[in-house]
Structure 1
Amino acid sequence: MSSMLERLPGWPDLFGWVEKGLPGVHVAPGLHGIRIEEHLGDGTYVVRAELPGVDPDKDVEITVDDGLLTLRAERTEQSTEKHRTEFRYGTFARVLRLPAGAKGDEATAEYKNGVLTIKVPVPEAKTGTRAIPVRHV
């Protein structure tokens, strides 16, 4: 069925639309989002990002500033003539708010099989109840 829909003129690329969001929302043409997984556990905030086909040494930039983790990557198109491509080329970016207390300056990153894994230490917050006395004035 999908091959028949692909042949219909004017049929929108539904997967691309879902990925991009509502039309007109993106303000930077050519900028693509990065698909991620994230979790917090065992004192570590872990972000896994899908970045296939990039060279992490040359094409990936990770920064932490004011509690924000920014991922930027670029995938350049190879100069071969294609009959069809659904690959995305250009700049990919994602900004994530780090959990409270995260030590961004101690973050580490690894790239394996097209997935970038970033780990940021997050000290356990002291959970305890403290009574606050009320003064009579």
Structure 2
Amino acid sequence: MSVPMKREQRGLMPDLFDLLELPLAGFRPTGQQIRFEDYTDDGRYVLRAEVPGIDPERDVEITVANGILTIHAERRQEEKRGHRTEFRYGSFTRSIPLPPNADENDVKASYDNGILEVKVRLAEEKERAKRIPISMEKGSTEKGSTEQGTA
């Protein structure tokens, strides 16, 4: 079963990652934007990225550190004379925050028909808060009583 991931807005200010996804962000001089979709499926976080026209063994690097998944790809232009191209060449990098319960030691990646798919195992959700019982020790005073010494 697939469950789409929904990123919640935090307050009145948009999330920094949302700002980077604006339509004109792809025209940044620092490189092109990798388009992706993400969802959870069968206890795994799944990220699918469009990276057509590359050799995944040679031109793609995937790293995970400190809760961030980073995909770096490079599409190389073949040297041809007297031609016109509208293809995009160069380096492409995208960093995506992982869910808090993602297991960074269990990450698998595959590539098929221009789609890079990365799957990260999700650990069981932990309880947010656990109530701790308080035991009464011998010699402790009960609620409302006080000890008074004599001088």
TM-score computed with the length of structure 2 as normaliser = 0.65
Q: Is the 8 A contact 1:30 1:90 kept in 2?
A: no
Instruction: Find the residue that maps to 1:103 and give its secondary structure.
Output: strand
- The aligned counterpart of 2:43 is 43
Match 1:21 to one of 13, 18, 25: 25
Q: Is the 8 A contact 2:61 2:73 kept in 1?
A: yes
Return the letter of the residue paired with 1:21. A
The within-5 A match list for 1:34-113 is 34-81=34-81, 83-113=83-113
Instruction: Find the residue that maps to 2:92 and give its secondary structure.
Output: strand
Matched residue pairs, number?
A: 115
- Aligned-pair distance for 1:31? 1.1
Q: Is the 8 A contact 1:74 1:91 kept in 2?
A: yes
Pick closer, same or farther for the CA change 1:78–1:133 going to 2, 3 Å: same
- Aligned-pair distance for 1:78? 1.2
- Which ranges of structure 1 fall in alignment gaps of 5 or more residues? 1-17
Q: Deviations over 1:49-108 (max 9, x none)?
A: 001010011100000011100000000111124654221100001000010121112100
Cα distance in 2 for partners of 1:19, 1:51 equals 18
Identity of matched residues, %: 44
Q: Is the 8 A contact 2:35 2:49 kept in 1?
A: yes
Cα distance in 2 for partners of 1:109, 1:132 equals 41
**Which moved further from structure 2: 98-107 or 74-83?**
74-83
Return the letter of the residue paired with 1:45. Y
Alpha carbon RMSD of aligned pairs, Å? 2.7
Q: Deviations over 1:18-76 (max 9, x none)?
A: 744387xx4xx251110001002321000000010100111000000111000000001
Rg bigger for which structure? 2
Pick closer, same or farther for the CA change 1:33–1:22 going to 2, 3 Å: closer
Runs of 4+ in 1 over 3 A off after TM superposition: 81-84, 126-134
